[in-house]
């Protein structure tokens, strides 16, 4: 950084956050959260709260003529004892849509979890994230700082060599996505790596990524959060975590999914909803959970004894049940997207640990999602088209006032 710098206030930085639902004040700064604090009282354990603190799809949107930007951030990374070390916290920076920097931080706090969901916190120190923005220092540009997909952050402040302000809210299509570890990007290569982030960048959509590794369990409080989140399109990827942890049977899955949709519809009366069935995962296609790590970085199904007709869930079974639920609802703005059209059984070599796709796998999913969203003949593109037609019809009768 130049010797003369300008302080960036916490208010400016907090107002620049996109993709988070709450800015939580903490000692010495603030932390973006992807679930509001009221949900904590309804959580069964701390696991979903820890995943919601990860800043997948969260960014700082700034406008500045600065050539250099510094941010004081404490990263909190998660390790799974005996199974996965804490990965580096990825921060990526774009200027006018062009990638200008990618940093990875190995310092900060580490939260070590165990299979029984207990955890130990190893405190760490803040990092100084220095970003070279280029430019001549006179022309203002949009700067996007993508925060880590698999770590939480506390932002303490910042500085730059020119004034910085928060960018104005976008008027892009507002997309809310719900999913599990794959959509969270738990093992994606970098902050922009998770497939929903890449898809939103290609489509020019404004993403809120409500995907929580290991915790896509149809929690009612998450449905209420989605109901209250202003959205033009909602996508719900359902199935994988329910099978992995063997938490439901047919008897409970069907009403749970209906309830999840009912709660969303209370606040999103006619928002298009795409139910995305499970992506391909050969070890669970026709096997029940629970799934266990048999060696570091290698997962296998460990199915229990299944009695005929007991309603045990497999991935292939959840796809049928999702379609059954959708068909039972009188909702012409709800449709089903086959997850196998986004990630196929032939793509299974991209599952490096038998469960999570590598970065090439994320890129495949993103590309296919974008293709379907742009194709009026595809289920997803048809929903987007109906949204556009509805908005066009409304604009003929309602003066445009812009989005709040």
Position 147 scores a pLDDT of: 98
Q: Can you spell out the DSSP letters for 65-105?
A: --SEEEEEEEEEEEEETTTBPPPPEEEEEEETTEEEEEEEE
Q: Can you spell out the DSSP letters for 212-236?
A: -TT--S--HHHHHHHHHS--SEEEE
98 near 67, Cβ under 8 Å? Answer: no
Fold (topology level) of 6-166: Jelly Rolls (2.60.120)
C-alpha Rg value of the chain to the nearest Å = 21
Q: State both tokens at 366.
A: 């993103």
Position 396 scores a pLDDT of: 56
CB 345: neighbour CB atoms within 10 A?
A: 11
Position 308 scores a pLDDT of: 79
CB 171: neighbour CB atoms within 10 A?
A: 9
Q: How far is CA 354 from the centre of its chain?
A: 21
Pairing status of strand 206-211 against strand 17-18: unpaired
Position 187 scores a pLDDT of: 86
- CA gap 60, 64 in Å, rounded: 12
Superfamily designation of domain 174-397: SGNH hydrolase (3.40.50.1110)
Position 86 scores a pLDDT of: 84
Which helix (H) or strand (E) covers residue 93, if one does? strand 89-95
Please tell me the pTM assigned to this model. 0.93
Position 2 scores a pLDDT of: 46
Pairing status of strand 174-179 against strand 206-211: parallel
Averaged pLDDT, groups of 10, the chain, 404 residues long: 78 98 96 98 94 97 97 93 83 96 93 83 94 95 97 97 96 97 94 98 98 96 98 97 94 98 97 98 90 69 76 95 97 97 96 92 98 96 86 57 41
Kindly list the domain boundaries of the chain, sorted by start residue. Answer: 6-166, 174-397
Position 296 scores a pLDDT of: 62
Query: Crossing angle for the helix pair 195-203 and 359-373, nearest 10 degrees?
Result: 40
Position 168 scores a pLDDT of: 96
Query: Crossing angle for the helix pair 250-267 and 315-328, nearest 10 degrees?
Result: 50
Position 294 scores a pLDDT of: 65
């Amino acid at each position: 950084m130049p010797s003369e710098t300008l302080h960036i206030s916490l208010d400016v930085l907090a107002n620049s956050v996109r993709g988070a639902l709450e800015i939580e004040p903490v000692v010495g700064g603030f932390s973006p959260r992807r679930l509001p604090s009221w949900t904590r009282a309804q959580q069964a354990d701390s696991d979903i709260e820890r995943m919601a603190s990860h800043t997948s799809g969260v960014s700082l949107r700034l406008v500045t003529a600065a050539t250099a930007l510094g941010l004081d951030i404490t990263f909190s990374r998660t390790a799974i004892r005996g199974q996965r070390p804490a990965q580096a916290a990825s921060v990526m920076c774009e200027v006018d849509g062009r990638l200008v920097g990618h940093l990875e931080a190995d310092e900060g706090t580490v939260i070590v979890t165990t299979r029984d969901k207990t955890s130990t916190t190893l405190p760490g120190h803040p990092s100084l994230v220095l970003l070279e923005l280029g430019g001549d220092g006179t022309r203002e540009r949009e700067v996007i700082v993508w925060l880590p997909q698999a770590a939480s952050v506390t932002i303490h402040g910042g500085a730059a060599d020119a004034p910085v302000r928060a960018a104005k809210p976008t008027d892009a299509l507002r997309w809310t996505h719900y999913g599990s570890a794959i959509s969270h990007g738990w093992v994606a290569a970098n902050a922009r790596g998770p497939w929903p982030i890449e898809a939103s960048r290609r489509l020019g959509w404004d993403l809120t990524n409500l995907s929580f590794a290991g915790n896509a369990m149809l929690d009612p409080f998450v449905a209420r959060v989605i109901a209250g989140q202003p959205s033009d399109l909602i996508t719900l990827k359902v199935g994988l975590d329910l099978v992995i942890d063997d938490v439901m049977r047919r008897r409970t899955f069907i009403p749970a999914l209906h309830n999840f949709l009912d709660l969303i519809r209370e606040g999103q009366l006619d928002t298009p909803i795409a139910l995305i069935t499970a992506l391909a995962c050969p070890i669970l296609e026709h096997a029940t959970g629970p799934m266990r790590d048999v060696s570091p970085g290698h997962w296998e199904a460990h199915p229990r004894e299944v009695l005929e007709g007991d309603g045990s869930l497999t991935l292939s079974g959840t796809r049928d049940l999702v379609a059954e639920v959708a068909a039972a609802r009188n909702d012409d703005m709800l449709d089903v997207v086959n997850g196998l059209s986004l990630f196929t059984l032939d793509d299974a070599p991209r599952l490096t640990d038998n469960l999570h796709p590598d970065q090439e796998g994320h890129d495949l999913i993103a590309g296919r999602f974008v293709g379907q969203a742009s194709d009026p003949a595809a289920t997803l593109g048809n929903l987007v088209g109906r949204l556009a037609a509805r908005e066009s019809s409304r604009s003929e009768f309602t003066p445009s006032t812009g989005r709040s």
